[in-house]
Amino acid sequence: MVLSKKYIDVTWDFAAADTKEYTHCYHNYPAMMIPQIARRLIDRYSKKAETLFDPYCGTGTSLVEANLKGINAFGTDLNPMARLIAEAKTTLIELQILDLYLKEFNDFLFSLMFNINKPNIIAPNFNNIDFWFKEEVKEKLAIIKSFISNIKDEKIKKFFLVAFSETVRECSLTRNSEFKLYRISEKQREKFDPDVYVMINSKLARNRKGLKEYIEQKKNNSKTVIYDFDSSEHIGKIEKESIDIVVTSPPYGDSRTTVAYGQFSRLSNQWLDVEDASQIDNQLMGGKSKTIKKTGISIIDKTIEKIAVKDEKRAKEVYGFFDDYNRSIANVSEIIKKKGYACYVVGNRRVKDTTLPTDEITKNLFQEYGFIHKNTFIRNIPNKRMPSKNSPTNKTGQKSTTMNNEYIVIMQKQ
Other C-beta atoms lying within 10 Å of the C-beta of residue 311:
17
pLDDT, tens digit (0-9, with 9 covering 90-100), for 176-212? 888 889 999 999 999 999 999 999 999 999 999 999 9
Other C-beta atoms lying within 10 Å of the C-beta of residue 221:
8
What CA–CA distance (Å, rounded) separates 414 from 364? 15
Longest dimension (CA), the chain: 79
What CA–CA distance (Å, rounded) separates 316 from 322? 10
Task: Give the pLDDT score at 256.
Answer: 66
Per DSSP bridges, beta strands 400-401 and 72-76 are unpaired
Q: Taking phi first (over 0 means left), then psi (-120 to 50 degrees means alpha), and beta for anything else, what does residue 58 get? A: left
What CA–CA distance (Å, rounded) separates 204 from 225? 24
Domains contained in the chain, CATH given: 6-92+218-413 (3.40.50.150), 95-216 (no CATH)
User: What is each CA distance from 215 to 23, 95, 98, 158, 347, in whole angstroms?
Assistant: 9, 9, 13, 17, 33
Per-residue exposure over 43-70, b if at least 16 CB sit within 10 Å of its own CB, e if not: eebbeebebbbbbbbbbbbbbbbbbbbe
Other C-beta atoms lying within 10 Å of the C-beta of residue 101:
19
Judge contact between 412 and 341, C-beta under 8 A.
yes
Which residue type sits at 87? E
Per DSSP bridges, beta strands 405-413 and 371-380 are antiparallel
Judge contact between 226 and 57, C-beta under 8 A.
yes
Residue 380 backbone dihedrals phi, psi, to 5 degrees: -75, 160
What CA–CA distance (Å, rounded) separates 245 from 247? 6
Per DSSP bridges, beta strands 371-380 and 6-8 are parallel
Other C-beta atoms lying within 10 Å of the C-beta of residue 241:
11
Judge contact between 333 and 363, C-beta under 8 A.
no
pLDDT by 10s per residue, the chain, length 414: 556 799 999 999 999 999 999 999 999 999 899 999 999 999 999 988 999 999 999 999 999 999 999 999 999 999 999 999 999 999 999 999 999 999 999 999 999 888 777 777 888 889 899 999 999 999 999 999 999 999 999 999 999 999 999 999 999 999 988 888 999 999 999 999 999 999 999 999 999 999 999 999 999 999 999 999 999 999 999 999 999 999 999 998 876 667 788 899 999 999 999 998 888 888 887 788 789 999 999 999 999 999 999 999 999 999 999 999 999 999 999 999 999 999 999 999 999 999 999 999 999 999 999 999 999 999 999 765 555 454 444 444 444 445 689 999 999 999
What CA–CA distance (Å, rounded) separates 387 from 31? 9
Secondary structure of 109-127 as H, E, C letters: HHHHHCCCCCCCCCCCCCC
Judge contact between 378 and 410, C-beta under 8 A.
no
pLDDT, tens digit (0-9, with 9 covering 90-100), for 11-60? 999 999 999 999 999 999 998 999 999 999 999 999 889 999 999 999 99
- Residue length of the chain: 414
Task: Give the pLDDT score at 24.
Answer: 98
